[in-house]
Chains A and B, each alone.
Chain A
């Protein structure tokens, strides 16, 4: 039982890879030096008014606002013409899109099988024509670029520090399980039956158009698989190596059956899953982000059992899965030349492992462990991103495996989701939205996270999990000014400074506020205003998408669309939320605490003096700033007073979020906390804040405490998070058991641990106990970072030696050396402030 004090930290390297996988993995990491890649190709109808780029799906990526016109022009210029069906222009928009995407995928895009690859389906990143008529193009331009158009509104919303909002592709779990059960044949026949059940008028109307479009899309996987089967057969005929020859032959046989028919074994199932999945990305012209797989260790298990009984070696099953891993990563090739911007730097094709079953039992199985081995052996690698569901009865064997994987990586190579807290939130949303027939005690365990940790149901749910990102802090600013921006906005391009206007409600001169309650009332009113403003901004892109951007292939995979004969972009999924992700939560709570402390409790300054300090970006107000930073209470320390206000802030903005629905698509807003990288970028947009933060310093991330504020360690940090989410109810009054959770979407929580917590088995057990304690006291999801500031500083100096050093921030995974200096410094600062 020797405990050595010093833990060795190594950069995680892949282990135990076969020559095949090692080659494929190394080849992938060659990036632009590869002779093959899956870069976007653009395709046109050949009309003068054609346009390819659906810009509204990128409204949540402020990094590319400046590039929108360039993207529009660039893709248009690069687009190759597709020879149209003579009937093309007589069809509805949905039918045109369905046909066009299928045509490109089946008849235009080259098809290759990489050496040794066990799965077909290589190129899928396409930017296709939006298939507009001239009239539709004019409508589109007016809605996007006209006065008060979507582009102007989303830019105003961002430039003035409110956040961003836009209808974004991906971010859901399609009904892959159904494809494995009935095949695309089953889906096609269902559509056909529904189409024939329409009366002639309906067939001629929008319902008929939509179902015909979906039927076209439903044939795409079969037609593409047939072509790939030919490629495999040809390659097999020319192959000298006997073993490879046989593999290629089996692949061609697999492709002759799936995904059209239900798979008969594991290899077929994974092949079917991959082709079905990659075509979602083709259909939406959106490479990956948040198109998630759900509980693959559950729905692939029956196929693995069949193959195992037929004699398949577990190592070969892992080999198939590792090919699947490589394929998922090629999503990134889309913009391989110009790099990845903002949210698109981490794609989040999420897989879910383990979790509760229908009777409260644990669902961990042999495939769970097999997949964890694959993750362990392939890491570090970005996609697919794993999320492991933990709960009170997670078996020790799984906990040990997870802790051991964390201890050999630079942080958990997976996210952790916590079932009880998460399910309480899902039950809450069922109640709030009257969806008890779709989400209830009997099926809520079937939930799975999307992207990183955004909880949804599976195969019938699109909840817009990254669509609305609102800076709660803006309401504090507006309460200090009576509804105006604190600082005037200057356009960086023109240098023109706008006049400050009365944007929000006039909540009065704060000088007159006699106590903190009065300030709170102003803050509450402004919160109502910013939430409403967000909903209005979102409505712009949501209505454009509903009218002009059908995705009939994806619609085939989401329950509700065929039934209603309506596209998913028109809000047809059975569960149809859009999520308001609150950003700057801790900065907001801490700012309110500082105002209360400095102005009202201790009377260190008047409210106007404080406002002046913020206008001056704290310059010349050192003492006041130091007091704001050091003396005022902070969220994240398990401090009763601070966390109580934290809960009040939470209750308020959640209540405001539930008030709104989209008009075009009837989507109910629901609350969540993600933040992506906005907490970094918007730190430069938002004025200084009362918690002592200067303009240009980062805001707080998701539900995490402000940087450096969690001085009481991880348990206090986790307790604060659990408390503001609702904590636990007395007795049985919780939404799931005694748990409460006001954020059905879930909340991103990152804690960075010092590697010494895992230095020996005794300490690993302590870490395991922390995770088990988190199940009781913490939030919905946790990302565990194990890092050392010195190694990060080293990596900053010598990036060439640390190419594979992976960091995780909010479920935003990135190779450390590829993120910007500011973000690098940020990660280092977080770690240096930890008290372990």
Chain B
């Protein structure tokens, strides 16, 4: 068991999202931790991959005061025709420039939170959790990379009577999972690709280890009070994971191995709202010009998933789809 006093724990938090409606049942507060064990090509949150704080510049907020230039001790910053350039090789993410930036154009992604402070912060919405069977989701990045903090955090929430969810990509040590799971009311588990070679290519991670962890979760659910619930999530990425054989084989795997120890399988359609994030981090993104999935493509994948041997009632899809020509009433439009 954990011996250290809770107060000493801290974690690098990327974002605290309140009234989240997409990370588990009910109304939730989702805490995104920084640092991930996978490097998915399509990653929607590229700023969550690195475990250390990073600086970004949001151009349309900048008022051009150049306060930042004089303040950076490492001289990482310079203005060019595209705006502010951050020398990534030199920037240590110290946050001094972001602290000084009057317009918050410069942002430090990743903030150190003490355990007690974080508990107090997320408990503010307990009334909404209680009314909705919601709670707190710990996500990332990969939260299981900070197992001691996450364990203490979920434990603290449980003591306050708040339901908890662990959102994991599955690539972590089994011992970390074993430590966290007893305090997680539910698990959101990402299973993105079932072909081991492709999985390695797309995510840089070992599928076998992920599947072994999934079985560990299954066994824990079957033999323990907690967790109670397991949702599987599969991102549908155009030209990548959106193959019918991938979905069919994931479905078969789930049917063969999880049986009724699974409560939902959600196909999450590709989203391109993160395009700007890549630009701001100075990164290339293979999917920059990819279209969103169409509604009919998602429906087709849904029926493949439903006929893969799994209880079809457990499968659903979510997310935004391509805006297509409206034929009906002109006062009608797609809201994403």
Interface on A for B, CB 8 Å cutoff? 1-11, 622-624, 626-627, 630-631, 638, 712-716, 719, 754-757, 763, 765-766, 769-770, 772-773, 776-777, 788, 790-791, 801-802, 836
User: Is there contact, CB below 8 Å, between A2 and B302?
Assistant: yes
Q: Which residues of A contact B131 (CB under 8 A)?
A: 769, 772-773, 776
Closest to A778 in B: B127
Closest 7 CB pairs of A and B: A769-B132, A773-B128, A626-B102, A772-B131, A776-B127, A6-B334, A5-B320
- B128 and A9 contacting across the interface, CB-CB below 8 Å: no
* A801–B130 alpha-carbon span in the complex (Å): 43
Q: Is B269 an interface residue (CB 8 A)?
A: yes
Task: List chain A residues, Cβ under 8 A from B333.
Answer: 8-9, 788, 790-791
CB atoms of A763 and B335 under 8 A apart: no
Docked complex Cα distance between A706 and B257 (Å): 53
Inter-chain contacts of B331 with A (CB < 8 A): 10-11, 801-802
CB interface residues, B 318-336, toward A, < 8 Å: 318-321, 329-336
- How far does the alpha carbon of A719 sit from the alpha carbon of B330 in the complex, in Å? 39
**Interface status of B63 (Cβ within 8 A of chain A):** yes
- Answer whether A770 and B321 are a contact pair too, CB < 8 Å, given A8-B334, A626-B65: no
A755 contacts which chain B residues (CB < 8 A)? Answer: 335
Q: Is the interface of B mostly helix, strand, loop or mixed?
A: mixed
Question: Which residue in B26, B130, B336 is a CB contact (below 8 Å) of A766?
Answer: B26
Not counting A756-B336, A773-B127, a sample of 5 additional A-B residue pairs whose C-beta atoms are within 8 angstroms of each other reads A6-B336, A7-B335, A8-B334, A623-B63, A776-B127
Residues of A within 8 A of B295 (CB): 4, 6
CB distance from A732 to the nearest CB of B (A): 19
Q: A10-B331, A757-B21 are in contact. Are A777 and B321 (CB under 8 A)?
A: no
The interface residues of chain A lying within 8 Å CB-to-CB of B21 are: 757, 763, 766
The interface residues of chain A lying within 8 Å CB-to-CB of B332 are 8-10
Pairs A–B under 8 Å by Cβ, sample size 30: A1-B313, A2-B302, A3-B318, A4-B321, A6-B334, A6-B335, A7-B334, A8-B333, A9-B333, A9-B335, A622-B63, A622-B65, A624-B102, A626-B102, A630-B61, A630-B104, A715-B125, A715-B128, A756-B336, A766-B27, A766-B132, A766-B134, A769-B128, A770-B27, A770-B128, A770-B132, A773-B125, A773-B132, A790-B333, A791-B333
B316 touches A3 (CB 8 A): yes
B209 at the binding interface (Cβ < 8 Å): no
B335 and A2 form a contact (CB under 8 A): no
Q: How far is the CB of B45 from chain A (nearest CB, A)?
A: 16
Question: How many Å from the CB of A499 to the closest CB on chain B?
Answer: 36
Alpha-carbon gap, A754 to B334, bound state (A):
12
Residues of B within 8 A of A622 (CB): 63, 65
Nearest residue (CB) in A for B318 is: A3
CB-based nearest B residue for A759: B335
**Closest residue of B by beta carbon distance from A712:** B18
Which of chain A's residues have a CB closer than 8 A to the CB of B124?
638, 715-716, 719
B18, B67, B127, B318: the one contacting A623 at CB < 8 Å is B67
Closest to A631 in B: B102
> Measured between alpha carbons, how far is A626 from B320 in the docked complex, in Å?
34
> Within 8 Å of chain A (Cβ to Cβ): is B278?
no
A15 to B316, CA, bound (A): 32
Closest to A754 in B: B335
Contacts of A4 in B (CB 8 A): 295, 317, 321
Q: Could you tell me the distance between the alpha carbons of A9 and B232 in the complex, rounded to whole angstroms?
A: 30
Residues of B within 8 A of A791 (CB): 333
Q: Which residues from chain B contact A801 at a C-beta distance below 8 Å?
A: 330-331
Bound complex: CA A776 to CA B334 (Å): 34
Interface centre among B67, B124, B317 (most CB of A within 10 A): B124
| Cβ of A788 to closest chain B Cβ, rounded Å | 5
Report chain A residues within 8 Å CB of B316.
1-3
CA distance A664 to B328 in the complex (A): 62
Q: Are A623 and B104 in contact (CB-based, < 8 A)?
A: no
Contact A5 B319 (CB under 8 A): yes
A7 contacts which chain B residues (CB < 8 A)? 334-335
B277 to chain A, nearest CB (A): 16
| Complex contacts, A11 vs chain B, CB 8 Å | 331
Check if B317 sits within 8 Å of A719, measured CB to CB. Answer: no
B19 lies within 8 A of chain A by Cβ: yes
Minimum CB–CB distance for B212 against chain A, Å: 30
Contact status B128-A627, CB under 8 Å: no
Least Cβ distance of B264 to chain A in Å? 8
Question: In the complex, what distance in Å separates the CA atom of A25 from the CA atom of B320?
Answer: 38
Q: With A714-B19, A766-B21 in contact, is A6–B320 under 8 Å at CB?
A: yes
Query: What is the CB-to-nearest-CB distance from B313 to chain A, in angstroms, rounded to a whole number?
Result: 7
Q: Is B290 an interface residue (CB 8 A)?
A: no
Interface flags, B19-36, vs A, CB<8A=1, else 0? 101000011000000000
B50 at the interface (CB under 8 A from A): no
Q: Which of B18, B313, B319, B335 contacts A713 (CB 8 A)?
A: B18
B65: chain A residues within 8 A (beta carbon): 622-623, 626
Could you say which of A3, A6, A8, A791 has the most chain B C-beta atoms within 10 Å of its C-beta? A6
Q: Is B279 an interface residue (CB 8 A)?
A: no
> Does B103 touch A at the CB level, under 8 Å?
yes
Please report the C-alpha to C-alpha distance between residue A801 and residue B329 in the assembled complex, in whole angstroms: 11
**A772 surroundings in chain B (CB, below 8 A):** 131-132
Kindly identify, within residues 63 to 80 of chain B, every residue whose CB is under 8 Å from any CB belonging to chain A. 63, 65, 67
Q: How far is the CA of A638 from the CA of B335 in the complex (A)?
A: 28
Q: Report the Cα distance A791→B332, complex, angstroms.
A: 9
- Shortest CB-to-CB span from B131 to chain A, Å, is 4
The residue from A2, A712, A763, A776 contacting B317, defined by CB atoms under 8 A apart: A2
Contact among B18, B103, B130, B269 with A715 in the assembled complex (CB-CB below 8 Å): B18
Nearest neighbor of A629 in chain B, beta-carbon distance: B103
Residue of B nearest to A723 (CB): B124
Given known contacts A623-B63, A712-B18, A715-B125, A769 and B27 CB-to-CB distance under 8 angstroms: yes
Within 8 A of A (CB), among B115-166: 124-125, 127-128, 130-132, 134
B125 pairs with A5, CB closer than 8 A: no
What chain A residues lie within 8 Å of B26 (beta carbons)?
766, 769
Residue of B nearest to A766 (CB): B21
Q: B102 — which chain A residues lie within 8 A by C-beta?
A: 623-624, 626-627, 630-631
CB distance from A785 to the nearest CB of B (A): 14
Bound together, the chains give a CA A773 to CA B130 distance in angstroms of: 8
Interface centre among A1, A8, A773 (most CB of B within 10 A): A773
- Whether B321 contacts A769 by the Cβ 8 Å rule is no
In the assembly, what is the distance between CA of A754 and CA of B320, in Å? 14
Q: Which residues 163-193 of B sit at the A interface, judged by CB distance below 8 A? A: none
- With a CB–CB cut-off of 8 A, which chain B residues contact A788? 333, 335
Q: Which residues of A contact B269 (CB under 8 A)?
A: 5
Name the distance in Å between A778's Cβ and chain B's nearest Cβ: 9
Q: Which residue of A lies closest to B292 (CB)?
A: A5
Cα of A294 to Cα of B188 in the assembled complex, Å: 48
Chain A residue with Cβ nearest B330? A801
Could you tell me the distance between the alpha carbons of A422 and B129 in the complex, rounded to whole angstroms?
A: 23
Q: Which residues of A contact B134 (CB under 8 A)?
A: 766, 769
Once bound together, how far apart are the Cα atoms of A3 and B125, in whole Å?
A: 26
Give the interface centre of B124, B319, B331, B336 by most chain A CB atoms within 10 Å: B331
- B130 contacts which chain A residues (CB < 8 A)? 773
Most A-side CB within 10 Å, residue of B131, B295, B329, B336: B131
Q: How close is B156's CB to chain A, nearest CB, in angstroms?
A: 19
Please give, as numbers and ranges, the residues of chain B lying within 8 Å of A627 by CB-CB distance: 102
Cα distance A627–B336 in the bound complex, in angstroms? 33
Please, which residues of chain B bring their CB within 8 A of the CB of A773? 27, 125, 127-128, 130-132
